[in-house]
Structure 1
Amino acid sequence: MGDSMKEAFKKSGFKSPERKPERHTSRPNSTPTKTIFRLEKNYTAQAEQVIRGLRSSMGRDYQQFTTSKIRNILAKVSELYNEVTIAQQDILSSEIQSKIEYLKVRLVYECGRELYVIKPFVEKAGLLDLLNAIGDDRQRFIDFAHYMEALVAYHRFHGGKD
């Protein structure tokens, strides 16, 4: 910010909020480890656990988490699912892999638009981790699509609004 802007703020009586220094609880040479979400064989139980966890952790914001918001994501996944099942090849084509990459972009965009609703869902459900793990594996994508369906179903089952 230029000096003239700082001076104008100062004259108006505006006080910038004091920033607290960041506290580092880990050792200086340690790197934080990020747990990568893995899809289990009992993906329906995982989906239910994610939805229940979101419901309790989001509090009032959960009311804003409507079925239609996650169905928009599911619709994109379903389009790809149809292409994958029609192709019937064990290895995904480069075109489908490219569409999966675009799906990641859309998810990240939706997270940015809906910081308090979609972002916690995408993070808790591990959607980006799962998409990154697909690579060219057809079965991994099919499992991911089924997991997405389970997330939407359990959201609705546990009182998710339209």
Structure 2
Amino acid sequence: MGLTSENYVDEAERVIKTLIEKDRSGRDVIRLTTSKIRGILSLVTELYNDIIHEPSNKLGEEYVERIQYLRLRIAYEAGRDKQVAEFVRKSNLLGYVKQIKDNKKLFLLFTKYVEALVAYHKYYGGKDA
């Protein structure tokens, strides 16, 4: 099942809950830092700020290329850090980016999903670093 306007918040919460582990003292922790997850949000937000002003729901070639580049950057960040890789895999970020193609509505939904992931990461105690 893909993201919908009805399920993206619940899906984000579910994903973040799967990242919670017990530390040596038995406390719940999320090893993925806020700065790493915010790096992905920053990439998405930069693109969002341009796409939001597009009048058509069908995105032009320039945006399709930038969405593909976003996919590449997410893959790169996942390749650099095992916690980011786990987060990307569990959240299906690469799969969801791939589904966007030239669809503005799907991109906007993806942006909200990434924002929800960051919000729940913070809510469940994700640490800054």
Scaled by the length of structure 1, the TM-score of the pair is 0.71
Distance in 2 of aligned mates of 1:99 and 1:126:
19
Classify 1:50/1:63 alpha carbon distance in 2 versus 1 (closer, same or farther; 3 Å): closer
Q: 2:9: which partner in 1? A: 44
Give the conservation status (yes or no) of the 8 Å contact 2:43–2:70: yes
Classify 1:63/1:43 alpha carbon distance in 2 versus 1 (closer, same or farther; 3 Å): closer
Distance in 2 of aligned mates of 1:63 and 1:138:
32
What amino acid is the match of 2:12? A
The offset of 1:155, in angstroms, is 0.1
The offset of 1:157, in angstroms, is 0.3
Q: 2:85: which partner in 1? A: 119
Distance in 1 of aligned mates of 2:40 and 2:61:
21
1:158 counterpart = 2:124: yes
Mapping 1:74-89, distance limit 5 Å: 74-89=41-56
Q: 2:26: which partner in 1? A: none
What amino acid is the match of 1:51? I
Distance in 2 of aligned mates of 1:55 and 1:38:
23
Of residues 105, 109, 115, the one that matches 1:149 is: 115
Q: 1:130: which partner in 2? A: 96
Distance in 2 of aligned mates of 1:88 and 1:47:
28
Please list the CA deviations of residues 140-162 of structure 1 after superposition, one character each: whole Å capped at 9, or x if unmatched. Answer: 00000000000000000000011
Give the conservation status (yes or no) of the 8 Å contact 2:45–2:111: yes
Which of structures 1 and 2 has the larger relative contact order (alpha carbons within 8 angstroms, sep 6+)?
Answer: 2
The offset of 1:63, in angstroms, is 4.5
SS of residue paired to 1:86 = coil
What amino acid is the match of 1:48? E
Distance in 2 of aligned mates of 1:69 and 1:114:
9
**Larger of the two Rg values belongs to structure:** 1
RMSD, aligned α-carbons: 1.4
SS of residue paired to 2:71 = helix
Please list the CA deviations of residues 98-145 of structure 1 after superposition, one character each: whole Å capped at 9, or x if unmatched. Answer: 011111111111111002x00010010010110010011100000000
Gaps of 5+ in 1: 1-36
Number of residue-to-residue matches in the alignment: 122
Structure ranking higher in strand proportion: 2
Of residues 50, 61, 65, the one that matches 1:94 is: 61
Gaps of 5+ in 2: 24-28
